[in-house]
């Protein structure tokens, strides 16, 4: 299944969504900003930072999963060219 690439990227990158939601919670509970342009700048910069965090953590998660899958499948020996014969099967049970 080749869709694991996106799943590994999005799962680890979703950390940025939590950070963005917490920054919104922090804005509502702690900051006393009433000016509209200041709100725009706060959420604009927060969005840029969390998007960068999304790309960073998503890339790290993807590379870690990619490395793990390559190591796991490098151990397995594939032999697609040779078809098993009845002699191979009978030798297995001796």
Task: Walk along the chain (94 residues) and give the pLDDT tens digit of each residue.
Answer: 678 899 999 999 999 999 999 999 999 999 989 899 999 999 999 999 999 999 999 999 999 999 998 888 887 766 565 665 666 666 656 5
Give residue 93's pLDDT.
Answer: 61
Task: Identify the DSSP state of 93.
Answer: T
Main-chain dihedrals φ then ψ at residue 29, nearest 5 degrees: -90, -35
Give residue 75's pLDDT.
Answer: 77
Give residue 86's pLDDT.
Answer: 62
Domain membership of residue 76 as a residue range? 4-92
**Domain total in the chain:** 1
């Amino acid at each position: 299944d080749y869709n694991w690439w996106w799943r590994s990227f999005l799962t680890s990158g979703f950390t940025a969504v939590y950070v963005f939601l917490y920054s919104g919670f922090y804005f509502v509970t702690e900051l006393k900003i009433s000016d509209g342009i200041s709100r725009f700048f706060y959420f604009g910069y927060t969005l840029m930072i969390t998007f960068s965090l999304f790309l960073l953590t998503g890339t790290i998660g993807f590379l870690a999963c990619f490395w793990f899958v390559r190591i796991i499948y490098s151990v397995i020996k594939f032999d697609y060219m040779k078809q098993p014969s009845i002699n191979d099967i009978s030798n297995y049970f001796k």
